[in-house]
Structure 1
Amino acid sequence: MKLSKTDQNILQIALPAIVTNITVPLLGLVDTAIVGHMGSASFIGAIAVGSMIFNLVYWVFGFLRMGMSGMTAQARGRRQVEDIVRLLGRSVAVSLSIASLLLVFQWPLRELMLMLIHPGEGVRQLAEIYFNIAVWGTPAVLSLYGLTGWFIGMQNTRIPMLVSVAQNVVNICASLFFVYALDMQIEGVALGTVVAQYAGLIVAVLSLAPSFFLSRGRRSWRRLGRGFRWQSLRSEWGRYFRVNRDIFLRTLFLVGVNLFFTSAGARQGEVVLAVNALLMQLFLLLSYFLDGFAYAGEALGGRYWGASDVNAFHDVVRRLFRWGGALALLFSIVYIVGGEPFLHLLTDNVSVVKASRSYVGWAYLLPLAGVAAFVWDGIFIGITATRAMLISSVVAAMVFFFTALLLMPLWGNHGLWCAMTLYLLTRGLVQTLLFCNIRLT
């Protein structure tokens, strides 16, 4: 079957992005697998808590990537080269400023997050060790957010793919070396992560200048260099902060949902916490595939929106939903067939695997429940319809908390998973309704 030009453009962006994203859950899976064979559920729980803390913190500042990709794609569609360069400089400056604040206030941040999650004493001690080391990778992570968003907006997902592959190869090798060669246990997992994060930043910075040269030639490189002026960073701050404010607030609601999910699991014991962490890995694996097509929505949707090409924009939206729906159905089938054997690869803890059998059915439903939310997120980011993203997240979070508080006393952990499923469905439904009210000109 011959693909249309739009499908080809989508795949040219989505496939490298999927390769990039797939290394992220693989990284988490490797870390979980390493500690999963240390003989105690406490190690799995500690990695789940420690990783969740940084996921939540980094999600809060996800606007550094998301706002950058949409605005850059629109500037590219309008062929505004100097705006493209100003956006890059602005993002790097903001990223480093935020990272510096997080390092200064790392102790109260750690204590606050552990208080909210409230793990058992054994898990808490190990999670503190993980946090104290991993926090020093914050400058690299936030800087990479801005650079990745910029590359996506420029329709270039190959460089982020190169960065991510290099980063995760270093992470896996370093973690295995620190843990098994130097017997550092959870300290080795954390240190390997930090080393890899800075390795990824180095690759991204080294790739930045050649990407200009190869894609635009020597003359465009000189033009871009002249367009970069520190004083130009002061312009257009109003729009930059409006877009990122909405994304920031929207992310807070997502963080609240995930924080409650982890905390509610932790309060049911170490085994349930470990089960939820392992099952969530299945959903995260899907999410990074769907994000590849969401990135295509950001890049192509933003480009055609900026160029005021309404027909091309609608075509991209339709085809993204076809790809996303097919992918979600495929993952549901794969999880039904091979979900439990996959869990055995992550841990040999008999009690955790046995307990997961009661809840694995929810992992079968999540792909179909969440596909619309992922696709719409990419489209809305591309056209910088960030207020609509915020509204959908607020409504969905209200549904999640109401359902969880109502059903958990009756169904326990099943009530928690039911709330998560309804949360994803609600996000997609509200975004669909809001998109119908967005005027395309």
Structure 2
Amino acid sequence: MNKKILHLALPNIVSNVTIPLLGLVDLALMGHLKSDIYIGAVSLGTVLFNFIYWGFSFLRMSTSGFTAQTYGEKNQQESFNILARAILISTLISLLIILFQVPVEWLSFKAINGSAEVETLAREYFRIRVWAAPATLGLYALNGWFLGMQNARYPMITSILANVFNIAFSFVFVVFMKMNSAGVALGTVIAQYLGLATGLYLFYRKYRQLTTFWNWKVIIDLPALKNFFRVNSDIFIRTFCVIGVFTFFTSKSASMDDHILAVNSILIQFLLFFSFFIDGFAFAGEAMAGRYLGEKSKSQFYLLTRKLFLWGAALAVAFSFLFLFGNGLILRLLTNQTALIETAQHYQFWIILTPVLTFASFIWDGIYIGATASREMRNSMLGATLLVFVPAYYFLHESIGNHALWLAMMLFMLARGAFQTVLFPKVLRKSFR
């Protein structure tokens, strides 16, 4: 079992780690400019696209879960149908985003507050990066399908290439062409389309025989689409809560001042960096849980859960020690601004606690996605957001300021894992009844 987990987890970790490295490079490029408004602009612009794109990350999650189950059932035709439906829906959504980009921009900047200088740069970032929508959402669907087919190598290849291209283009645009935050946005657009082209080529190379199953009437079959949208609507609500929490975190940081926004933007990278490592095991959980559900193997499903939590706990302890002894060096890599580093050190104990408090929520997400237990995921997230995160911040922010944001975030992540632990017996019964 451990060998199977690592076979899927390690490629996912390699591909995932390029994502926070991209964010770190972007922040480092901005952090070494003369003003911290560039960090704030990229942070606001990024959180807006997190809000938009993460809201549609159900395209990856549900595609992965459904495909893994059909893989376990050895139903190749339905596996292809799932990919076709996901690509169709991702294309329609991305076209709507581009078509309605003006009202989307207006609503987005109504929701997030920043200084006039930061907002001007963030709007420029938005107007460039929005053109990457078809590629970004297409990659969600394609990589989710690859993972459901127990193929973690192809998402690794597409992610590495896309993010290496992104880093290279951003570096050229910012350092040599002096485009500042706009250069980061343009680099992202070009790299996303190159990543999608790579993914489509890999699909054609290994899976082109599945295209013989193409049947338009089957692809748009109403009962199948209804089930697809039912699961997706639950995951959308779940993801909307995650986005809402992170957007709230950034917005409240910005409302304090540009300095705190820059500090929190840097510190949140520690959480994101850990999340992409632990998500390697969560993604393995998606693929394997769905497969064992398709094979109707309850014993393997339960064993998988135990093994994933052992791996998750070990990784969490390792990262807590890394953040304890290495946070100063990491901060200096992210920025050379002494004032930002000094302020960040006042909040470093939250960073040290982050891995231990959050790993369970990531592992459970992977298992629940593989089992397409979308309703339980949704309810857990709603409870953590409305019953824990929001009250924690509003009860404490006047007395402890920015610490209230970090405490609320940690309690939110801890509550997600706790609620999902309580609901797991129900998921197990429903999955194998």
TM-score under structure 2 length normalisation = 0.97
Residue 233 in structure 1 maps to residue 222 in structure 2: no
Structure 1 residue ranges without an equivalent (≥5): 1-5, 214-220
Answering whether residue 204 of structure 2 is matched by residue 178 of structure 1, we say no
Separation of aligned partners in 1, 2:54 and 2:184: 21
Find out whether 1:250 has 2:245 as its counterpart.
no
Paired residues of 2:38 and 2:180 also in contact (CA < 8 A): no
Match of 1:289 in 2: 277
Find the partner of 1:421 among 410, 416, 419: 410
Opposite residue 258 of structure 1, the aligned amino acid is F
Matches within 5 A, 1:25-174: 25-174=20-169
Q: Is the Cα contact below 8 Å between 2:124 and 2:182 reproduced in 1?
A: yes
Q: Which residue of 1 aligns with 2:422?
A: 433
- Over residues 72-112 of structure 1, what are the superposed CA-to-partner deviations in whole Å (9 max), with x where a residue is unaligned? 00001011111000001000000000000000111111121
Q: Which residue of 2 aligns with 1:261?
A: 249
Moved more, 233-242 or 177-186: 177-186
Q: Is the 8 A contact 2:54 2:239 kept in 1?
A: yes
- When the two chains are superposed, the root-mean-square deviation of aligned CA atoms in Å is 0.9
**Amino acid aligned to 1:330:** A
Give the whole-Å Cα distance in 1 for the aligned partners of 2:34 and 2:176.
18
2:341 equivalent in structure 1: 353
Whether 1:194 aligns to 2:189 is yes
Structure 2 gaps, min length 5: none
Which range is displaced more, 177-186 or 366-375?
177-186
Taking the aligned partners of 1:8 and 1:88, their CA distance within structure 2 comes to 27
Residue 280 of structure 1 is matched in structure 2 by 268
Correspondence for 1:217: none
Distance 1:279 1:108 in 2: 31
1:404 matched residue in structure 2: 393
Letter in 2 for 1:292: G
Contact 1:247 1:386 in 2 (8 A): yes
For the residues of structure 2 that align with 1:125 and 1:368, how far apart are their CA atoms?
Answer: 38
The aligned amino acid for 2:133 is T
Which amino acid letter does the alignment assign opposite residue 124 of structure 1? E
SS of the counterpart of 2:303? helix
CA distance in 2, matches of 1:365, 1:430: 20
In structure 1, what is the Cα distance between the partners aligned to 2:247 and 2:170? 26
- 1:183 Cα offset (Å): 1.9
AA aligned opposite 2:51: L
Alignment of 1:10-21 (within 5 A): 10-21=5-16
Deviation readout 1:135-154 (Å, 9 max, x if unpaired): 11111000000001000000
Give the Cα separation in 1 of the matches to 2:105 and 2:44.
Answer: 11
Alpha-carbon distance between aligned partners in 2 of 1:365 and 1:228, rounded to the nearest angstrom: 50
Q: How many angstroms does 1:226 deviate by? A: 2.4
Aligned counterparts of 1:132 and 1:59: Cα–Cα separation in 2:
18
d(CA) in 1 for partners of 2:234 and 2:291? Answer: 21
Amino acid across the alignment from 2:211: G
Specify the code of the residue in structure 2 equivalent to 1:152.
L
By how many angstroms is 1:325 displaced? 0.6
Residues in 2 aligned to 1:182 and 1:240: alpha-carbon distance in whole angstroms: 45
2:259 matched residue in structure 1: 271
Amino acid at match of 2:328: E
Query: Could you tell me whether the CA contact under 8 Å between 1:39 and 1:349 is conserved in 2?
Result: no
SS in 2 for 1:40: coil
Deviation, structure 1 residue 350: 1.5
Q: How many angstroms does 1:241 deviate by?
A: 0.8
Corresponding residue for residue 382 of structure 2:
394
- Runs of 4+ aligned residues of structure 1 deviating over 2 Å after TM superposition are none
2:300 to 304, 312, 317: 312
- SS of structure 2 residue aligned to 1:122: helix
Quote the Cα distance in structure 2 between the aligned partners of 1:326 and 1:247.
28
Post-superposition offset of 1:211: 2.1
Q: Which amino acid aligns with 1:379?
A: I
Name the % identity.
44
Residue 192 of structure 2 corresponds to residue 204 of structure 1? no
TM-score, normalization by structure 1: 0.96
Cα distance between partner residues in 2 of 1:111 and 1:363: 33
SS at structure 1 position matched to 2:114: coil
Give how far 1:256 is off: 1.3
